[in-house]
């Protein structure tokens, strides 16, 4: 079914993709009575709100910002007669964390999971040639049966409150674009592409899934618009001589055109930009097109002023320009899949992405950032009665992510969890199912990993052997032995690395998080914690350790920019570990990283 496919919305000869972004009507369901009061037929009040955006930061009322429960959106859309006879869908880029969609007062569909697209089939519900009322109820409550994990409590005044097990703000709403789609009855539903690359040729393996029988024609066009190859059939292999390969910061994109025909009639057309490249691991090396690469970059967040986690195309452009300026080549989509436009820009710019499913908070703690960072272990998270339900939600989100992102050349690895509790025997069967499913879903067989906090040590972690490369989040010099004890932190860090080395895993290691909180206003000599001088000292110490081990093949600093978190004594209006401020201006550490990364070759340690 088309509902399974998450192909990017495109206008073609046979498809219509109409963006419904703009001002929607908006209402907060303070007392949880919207359904009983028939809000699905039309919401009360006159308030409006931008889509896409998080709803929290537009208002001056703290009760709105902290609201936990249902919020309702409404928009009238005109659906032309020309769509009659086709399949018609609403496509939501994301609704955080669950949504129920109504059309003209009738339930059309629902979805749980706040960071990936979903389709709602409205073909048989539409009033063609008329306006149709779309109403969406979005719920942002946290629990332990969906990812990301947390809890929802009720205060003495009856208001609900989110208690996340993760260290970023629980922004929510319709945070990505909404589309009205129409496609033909017989249509292209999914495309799988994988590659094998050698010195002078590339093999492009493809498989096309369609909703009915048709003649399938494949055309491959280069960037000049010239046809480079062609094929027929729903599956096959294209051999391309002297191909232009997709490389880091030298991205070459072909256009993979699929056409369905019946005699002289064109039934459907879809065009997919592809980058020909191959990713694999060989011992401690991560290879792109058979050449070693070293990761230089960041953990990031979709987070900016005013719109929160809502997609902002201007902020996206600024972020890529800053990453190019500083000499980065990669980022991890911590801690959830990002808006599709970000992947498309990474495809064009030649950035490497570790794509992460929204599995954060699988470690029961309301101060997860502190407990995980200091190595305070948690036991039995995966031994609860809710674990099977959580696993099903996790597997569903994993499937939706890989189906959406599998054809992006920028995506070169999957991260299946961030800082989970992994020291209990019951974590192993949970992790095994995830790793197995990721391998089954991905036609390109990308490397798989999970980001490990410090209690997931070589002695205690039950699951690290499942990872194709080891990803470590480490905060020596900050959560562990900060300030004047930084020398002790370096010693303790080296002791841990020696224990990993003794295992002789013959796998690459990357540091998927490292850093220190810093206020951009603070300077002091000699340094103290929270000053810019101390942040630099922490990074220099950590880099000395990274450079001491041949099997360390990457560093992704935490974080690209300061970001909003829940209120707390350890957070000064958000997490301040950014290399850049939330307004995307550099701290002093940015110039230190720029000097280092511009002098580290892409194949750093590659010949060792």
Residue 608 covered by a domain: no
Q: Is pLDDT at 376 greater than 70 in this prediction? A: no
pLDDT in tens, 9-48: 999 999 999 999 999 999 999 999 999 999 999 999 999 9
Tell me: do 348 and 259 sit in the same domain. Answer: no
Mean pLDDT of the chain: 95
At 115, is the pLDDT very low, low, confident or very high (cuts 50, 70, 90)? very high
Contact 449, 470 (CB under 8 A): yes
Split into its structural domains, the chain has a count of: 3
At 214, is the pLDDT very low, low, confident or very high (cuts 50, 70, 90)? very high
The proportion of the chain whose per-residue pLDDT surpasses 90, expressed as a percent, equals: 94
Q: ∠ CA(141), CA(450), CA(327), 5° rounding?
A: 100
pLDDT for position 523? 97
Tell me the mean pLDDT in the region 501-522: 97
Q: Is pLDDT at 514 greater than 70 in this prediction? A: yes
Return the closest-CA partner of residue 471 out of 517, 422, 518, 429.
Answer: 422
Q: Is pLDDT at 171 greater than 50 in this prediction? A: yes
Residue 449 covered by a domain: yes
Tell me: do 197 and 341 sit in the same domain. Answer: no
pLDDT in tens, 130-155: 999 999 999 999 999 999 999 999 99
Catalytic residue among 419, 421, 490, 496: 419
Catalytic residue among 302, 513, 537, 555: 513
Tell me: do 497 and 588 sit in the same domain. Answer: yes
Tell me: do 66 and 128 sit in the same domain. Answer: yes
List 238's β-bridge partners, or say none: 204
List 241's β-bridge partners, or say none: 201
> Judging by beta carbons within 10 Å of its beta carbon (0-12, 13-18, 19+), is residue 250 exposed, middle or buried?
exposed
pLDDT in tens, 380-431: 789 899 999 999 999 999 999 999 999 999 999 999 999 999 998 999 999 9
Q: Is pLDDT at 1 greater than 50 in this prediction? A: no
At 570, is the pLDDT very low, low, confident or very high (cuts 50, 70, 90)? confident
CA distances from 6 to 21, 108, 120, 150 (A): 19, 18, 12, 28
At 209, is the pLDDT very low, low, confident or very high (cuts 50, 70, 90)? very high
Known active-site residue 419? yes
Contact 399, 334 (CB under 8 A): no
Query: Of 135, 155, 183, which residue constitutes the final position of a domain?
Result: 183
pLDDT for position 364? 77
Return the closest-CA partner of residue 589 out of 535, 545, 526, 543.
Answer: 535
Residues in the chain: 608
Q: What is the reported pTM?
A: 0.96
| DSSP codes joined into one string, 86-113 | SEEEEEES--BSEEEEEETTEEEEEEE-
Residue 19 covered by a domain: yes
pLDDT in tens, 436-457: 999 999 999 999 999 999 999 9
Sign of the CA dihedral with 310 first, then 315, 321, and 326 last: negative
At 370, is the pLDDT very low, low, confident or very high (cuts 50, 70, 90)? low
Contact 493, 474 (CB under 8 A): yes
Residue 491 covered by a domain: yes
Q: Is pLDDT at 499 greater than 90 in this prediction? A: yes
Query: Of 183, 205, 225, which residue constitutes the final position of a domain?
Result: 183
φ/ψ of residue 366, rounded to 5:
-80, -10
Contact 243, 279 (CB under 8 A): no
At 521, is the pLDDT very low, low, confident or very high (cuts 50, 70, 90)? very high
Where residue 578 sits, what CATH number does that domain have? 3.20.20.80
Radius of gyration (C-alpha) of the chain in whole angstroms: 24
Work out whether strand 160-164 and strand 470-473 pair parallel, antiparallel, or are unpaired: unpaired
Helix H or strand E segment including 190:
strand 188-197
Q: How far apart are CA 27 and CA 42, in angstroms?
A: 10
> Is the bond preceding 458 in cis, omega lying within 30 degrees of 0?
no
Tell me: do 430 and 560 sit in the same domain. Answer: yes
Residue 456 covered by a domain: yes
Tell me: do 35 and 115 sit in the same domain. Answer: yes
pLDDT in tens, 174-208: 999 999 999 999 999 999 999 999 889 999 999 99
- C-beta neighbour count of 383 within 10 angstroms: 13
Bigger pLDDT: 19 vs 606: 19
Residue 253 covered by a domain: yes
C-alpha 422, offset from chain centre:
22
Tell me the mean pLDDT in the region 541-550: 98
Tell me: do 31 and 151 sit in the same domain. Answer: yes
pLDDT for position 6? 73
Residue 605 covered by a domain: no
Contact 561, 328 (CB under 8 A): no
Where residue 235 sits, what CATH number does that domain have? 2.60.40.10
pLDDT in tens, 298-352: 999 999 999 999 999 999 999 999 999 999 999 999 999 999 999 999 999 999 9
Tell me: do 423 and 436 sit in the same domain. Answer: yes
pLDDT for position 366? 57
Tell me: do 178 and 194 sit in the same domain. Answer: no
pLDDT for position 445? 97
At 607, is the pLDDT very low, low, confident or very high (cuts 50, 70, 90)? confident
Owner of token pair 């950035």: 351
Tokens found for residue 42: 């039309």
Tell me: do 461 and 339 sit in the same domain. Answer: yes
pLDDT for position 44? 97
Tell me: do 228 and 352 sit in the same domain. Answer: no
Where residue 86 sits, what CATH number does that domain have? 2.60.120.260
Known active-site residue 223? no
Query: Of 231, 247, 277, which residue constitutes the final position of a domain?
Result: 277
Q: How far apart are CA 78 and CA 127, in angstroms?
A: 9
Residue 284 covered by a domain: no
Q: What domain range includes position 162?
A: 2-183
pLDDT for position 360? 95
Q: How far apart are CA 490 and CA 501, in angstroms?
A: 16
Tell me: do 43 and 192 sit in the same domain. Answer: no
């Amino acid at each position: 079914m088309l509902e399974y496919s998450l192909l990017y919305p495109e206008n073609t000869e046979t498809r219509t993709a109409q963006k419904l972004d703009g001002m929607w009507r908006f209402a907060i369901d303070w007392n949880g009575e919207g359904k009983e009061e028939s809000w699905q037929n039309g919401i009360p009040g006159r308030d409006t709100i931008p889509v896409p955006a998080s709803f929290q930061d537009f208002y001056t009322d703290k009760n709105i910002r902290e609201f936990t429960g249902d919020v309702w959106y409404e928009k009238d859309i005109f659906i032309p007669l020309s769509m009659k006879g086709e399949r018609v869908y609403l496509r939501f880029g994301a609704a955080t964390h669950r949504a129920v969609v109504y059309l003209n007062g009738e339930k059309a569909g629902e979805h749980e999971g706040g960071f990936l697209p979903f389709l709602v089939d409205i073909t048989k519900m539409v009033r063609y040639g008329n306006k149709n009322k779309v109403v969406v109820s979005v719920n942002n409550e946290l629990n332990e049966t969906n990812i990301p994990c947390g809890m929802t409590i009720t205060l003495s005044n009856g208001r609900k409150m989110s208690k996340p097990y993760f260290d970023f703000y629980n922004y929510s709403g319709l945070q990505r674009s909404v589309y009205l789609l129409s496609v033909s009855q017989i249509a292209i539903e999914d495309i799988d592409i994988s590659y094998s690359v050698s010195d002078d040729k590339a093999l492009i393996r493809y498989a096309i899934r369609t909703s009915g029988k048709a003649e399938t024609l494949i055309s491959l066009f280069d960037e000049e618009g010239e046809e480079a190859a062609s094929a027929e059939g729903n599956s096959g292999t294209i051999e391309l001589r002297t191909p232009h390969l997709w490389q880091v910061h030298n991205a070459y994109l072909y256009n993979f055109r699929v056409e369905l025909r019946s005699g002289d009639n064109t039934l459907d057309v879809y065009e997919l930009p592809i980058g020909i490249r191959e990713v694999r691991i060989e011992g401690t090396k991560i290879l792109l097109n058979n050449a070693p690469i070293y990761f230089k970059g960041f953990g990031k967040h979709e987070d900016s002023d005013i719109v929160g986690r809502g997609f902002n195309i201007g902020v996206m452009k600024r972020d890529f320009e800053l990453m190019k300026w500083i000499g980065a080549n990669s980022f991890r989509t911590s801690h959830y899949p990002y808006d599709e436009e970000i992947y498309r820009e990474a495809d064009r710019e030649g950035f490497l992405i570790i794509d992460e499913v929204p599995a954060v908070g699988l470690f029961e703690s309301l101060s997860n950032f502190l407990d995980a960072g200091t190595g305070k272990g948690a036991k039995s998270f995966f031994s609860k009665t809710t674990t099977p339900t959580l696993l099903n939600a996790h597997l569903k989100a994993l499937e939706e992510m890989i189906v959406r992102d599998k054809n992006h050349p920028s995506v070169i690895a999957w991260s299946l969890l961030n800082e989970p509790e992994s020291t209990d025997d019951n974590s192993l069967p949970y992790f095994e199912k995830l790793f197995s499913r990721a391998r089954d879903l991905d036609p390109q067989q990308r490397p798989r990993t999970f980001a490990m906090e410090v209690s997931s040590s070589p002695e205690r972690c039950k699951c690290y052997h499942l990872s194709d490369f080891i990803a470590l989040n480490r905060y020596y010099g900050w959560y562990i032995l900060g300030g004047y004890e930084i020398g002790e932190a370096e010693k303790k860090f080296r002791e841990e690395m020696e224990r990993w080395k003794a295992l002789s895993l013959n796998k690459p290691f990357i540091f998927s998080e490292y850093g220190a909180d810093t206020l951009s206003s603070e300077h002091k000599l000699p340094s103290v914690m929270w000053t810019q001088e101390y942040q630099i000292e922490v990074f220099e110490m950590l880099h000395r350790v990274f450079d001491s081990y041949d099997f360390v093949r990457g560093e992704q600093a935490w974080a690209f920019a300061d970001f909003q978190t829940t209120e707390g004594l350890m957070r000064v209006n958000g997490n301040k570990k950014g290399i850049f401020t939330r307004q995307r201006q550099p701290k002093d550490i940015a110039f230190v990283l720029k000097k280092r990364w511009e002098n580290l070759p892409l194949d750093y340690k590659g010949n060792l």
